[in-house]
Amino acid sequence: MESRLLLGDGLEVTGRRLGAAGDAIGEVVFNTGMTGYQEILTDPSYAGQIVVFTYPMIGNYGINEDDFESDRIQVAGIVVREACAEPSNWRSRKSLHQLLEERGIPAIEGVDTRALTKRIRSAGVTMGLVTDGISGARARLESAPDYGDREFVSEVSTGEVYGWGYSGREDFSEPADGYKATLAVLDCGLKFNILRRFAALGIQSKVFPSSASADEIMSCNPHGILLSPGPGDPAKLLGVVDTAKELLGQRPIFGICLGNQILCQAVGGSTYKLKFGHRGSNHPVKDLEDGTVTITSQNHGYAVDPESLDEALASVTQLNVNDGTVEGIRVKGADASSIQYHPEAAPGPWDSRKYFVRFVEQMIATK
């Protein structure tokens, strides 16, 4: 069946329906990764967005039961050049189309995604609509709220506290046998692979909703605190920022992606929106403290304004090699640091996993 992609700047592209019938409205962004489409679909940081995949074939290794990064599909929709109808992989249980159809996610294939990506790079991100209901489509798009007007974190955060690595234990005050320490996670759009990576390093996690207070988080007597990734404009998260302020200095703190922007605001900094964001698995980042360059997995549309940081309170520790944007900060005198990219990858390279190790060492050293 014919489907159509409409952009807020007036562009209309015709293709074929993929996934479910109906409308998908969201901010149209692109991801340059060659693999990892299942993880991208289920990454909460993509809430409210339509993802354009630049790689020409998506779905060739199917969908499995192990590579979900949350409990649901988070993207509003997707755009692909070609969706593989007959995937081949021993772990595959269904095709990309079957997953999207089951979960009610509209998508479109048969689109020149490279040309679309070049347009977004030149003009910037814009709202868009994927639909097979052509009549009145432009009016539906124009009446939709802008991506920047919504606060997405409360929509994707957990509704209740839960543990990872506790094996059903209710007592979170001390690590279980075989674990080194306990981590409190403020869930602003958490990916499961972050919890998996900490568990592999002997850390059990207790996950809190984004609305949790500092007292609630500290009630489990954690050895460290994680500010998680997540979607949307960080400037809308005043409550979360206030919580981060209260937590500063109480325990070692590590922020990832949105967590980096939250930590920045907690010390008086600000953020701004990038023209088309960083989304892919090949972004080079230089660590200014040890001089190393790592290839990183990224997914964000906002960045920290370096001019907004008070040098007496925080310092920039990492920079993007491509465009010089801030990729990490360290809060002085508070045992708190953060990075703008995803060290857990999923998808992406494992170069930056060392930052998990460093944070775990901080947690254990201050027990």
Q: Choose, from 39, 82, 109, 344, the residue flagged as catalytic.
A: 344
Q: In what order do the strands lie in the sheet with 253-256?
A: 162-164, 203-209, 181-187, 224-227, 253-256, 336-339, 326-331, 314-320, 271-287, 293-304
Q: Choose, from 223, 283, 300, 342, the residue flagged as catalytic.
A: 342
What span, in angstroms and rounded, lies between the C-alpha atoms of 153 and 302? 14
Phi-psi region of 168 (alpha: psi -120 to 50; beta: other; left: phi over 0): left
What span, in angstroms and rounded, lies between the C-alpha atoms of 111 and 119? 13
Taking alpha carbons only, the member of 102, 80, 90, 96 closest to residue 39 is 96
What span, in angstroms and rounded, lies between the C-alpha atoms of 211 and 163? 17
Active site residue 101: no
Task: Name every residue whose Cβ is closer than 8 Å to that of residue 205 and which is 6 or more positions away in sequence.
Answer: 163, 164, 165, 182, 183, 184, 185, 195, 198, 199, 226
Contact between 41 and 53 (Cβ < 8 Å): no
Q: Choose, from 97, 101, 223, 257, the residue flagged as catalytic.
A: 257
Contact between 262 and 253 (Cβ < 8 Å): no
| DSSP one-letter code for 239 | H
Taking alpha carbons only, the member of 220, 187, 178 closest to residue 70 is 187
Instruction: Give the 3-state secondary structure of residue 149.
Output: helix
Determine the residue type at 146. D
Active site residue 300: no
Please classify residue 88 by burial: count the beta carbons closer than 10 Å to its beta carbon, then call 0-12 exposed, 13-18 middle and 19+ buried: exposed
Establish how many alpha carbons lie within 13 A of residue 347's alpha carbon, considering only the half-sphere containing its beta carbon. 16
Active site residue 344: yes
Query: Could you identify the residue written with the tokens 């489509």?
Result: 137
Active site residues: 257, 342, 344
